[in-house]
Amino acid sequence: MGRDDIPRPGGEAALGDVAYLARSDHRVPALVALTERPRSRSELCELTGVSSSTIRRTLAEFEDRVWVRRDGYQYTATRLGEVVASGVEALLERVETERQLREVWHWLPEEFTDYPLETWAAMTVTFADRDVPYRPVNRFRSLLEETTELRFVHPEISLMEPCIDVLHHRLDEGMDVVLVDRPESHSYFRSTYPERSSAMLRQENFTVLEHDDLPACGVGSLDDRAAVSCYEQDSGTVHALIDTEDPSVRDWARTVIDTYTADARPIDRA
């Protein structure tokens, strides 16, 4: 009997099995693969990238735990193995969701903390990093290319390169746009892109409003998708973009946008 097979009382035994699975990268993928269909040792070696001797030991340990059974030259998961594989996959998904959220948690509106995990798991979180600082902006550009209506409070991400070109083009195609931003942001946009801003402001389907007290995050609605842009407070750099089709988040975003739109005032288009 190996050290991993020593019985432990109560919950310690379960923790021991979880620790066993987590100690090597190939064990969870191997067990999950065996829940999908029977596989041979050579298939598992190719799938996991480990040696034949390692897979042989792993399968023997799985058999000792009654997670798999052998059928000729192939192995398949037992019902117990299916339960373990499903549970571990769910745990990994939860931890992966948490790892994404911890990076943006301090930027987010308080309402977001009340959403269930399933809502968070359905969100797409796009981070900027040192190698690709414009990754969130590029993600938003891809959303702009597909939407027919854009409403956005604190919309700096939509006015950044390369989004501004897509926005201009989509306006020409008839996309309805309502932007609510701070007066100083409108002044910066008009001074930085004088010709482009003048052309866009002449469009009847482009409504621009200003508000003196906006939320820290950008909140947008693109057809049936909600978007939240997380800005660095000092620099205004886009740190992350969260987007989702979840109905509860869409309803929240639309309520926020309606509230700020009702309190905003039109800018001087001259």
Question: What is the torsion angle, in degrees rounded to the nearest 10, for the CA atoms of residue 104, residue 177, residue 146 and residue 94?
Answer: 20
Same domain, 27 and 139: no
Same domain, 86 and 161: no
**What pTM, to 2 d.p., does this model score?**
0.70
Kindly state whether residue 101 falls inside one of the protein's structural domains.
Answer: no
* Bridge partner list, 221: 151, 226
Last-in-domain residue among 90, 117, 136: 90
Q: What are the start-end ranges of the E strands in 199-254?
A: 206-210, 218-222, 225-231, 238-244
Same domain, 25 and 62: yes
Same domain, 205 and 84: no
Same domain, 146 and 215: yes
Same domain, 190 and 80: no
Residue 143 belongs to domain with CATH number: 3.30.870.10
Per-residue pLDDT of the chain (270 residues; tens, 9 = 90+): 444 454 444 556 788 888 899 888 999 999 999 999 999 999 999 999 999 999 999 999 999 999 999 999 999 999 999 999 999 988 887 787 777 777 777 777 778 778 887 888 788 889 888 888 899 999 999 999 999 999 999 999 998 888 999 999 999 999 999 999 998 887 888 888 888 888 888 899 999 999 999 998 999 999 999 999 988 776 678 888 999 999 999 999 999 999 999 999 998 766
Same domain, 165 and 40: no
Kindly state whether residue 131 falls inside one of the protein's structural domains.
Answer: yes
Tokens representing 182 are 């701070």
Q: Any idea what the Cα angle at residue 121 is, between residues 111 and 127, rounded to 5°? A: 80
Task: Give the total number of structural domains in the chain.
Answer: 2
Kindly state whether residue 70 falls inside one of the protein's structural domains.
Answer: yes
Neighbours of 195 (CB within 10 A): 7
Kindly state whether residue 230 falls inside one of the protein's structural domains.
Answer: yes
Distance CA 86, CA 31 (A): 10
For residue 250, the model assigns a pLDDT of 95
For residue 3, the model assigns a pLDDT of 43
Same domain, 29 and 135: no
Same domain, 156 and 44: no
Neighbours of 45 (CB within 10 A): 19
Distance CA 140, CA 86 (A): 33
Alpha carbon 261 to its chain centroid, in Å, reads 27
Same domain, 117 and 236: yes
For residue 47, the model assigns a pLDDT of 92
User: Which residues constitute the domain of residue 230?
Assistant: 108-266
For residue 235, the model assigns a pLDDT of 67
Task: Identify whether the C-beta of residue 151 lies closer than 8 Å to the C-beta of residue 138.
Answer: no
Residue 53 belongs to domain with CATH number: 1.10.10.10
Same domain, 246 and 182: yes
Same domain, 237 and 143: yes
Task: Identify whether the C-beta of residue 208 lies closer than 8 Å to the C-beta of residue 187.
Answer: no
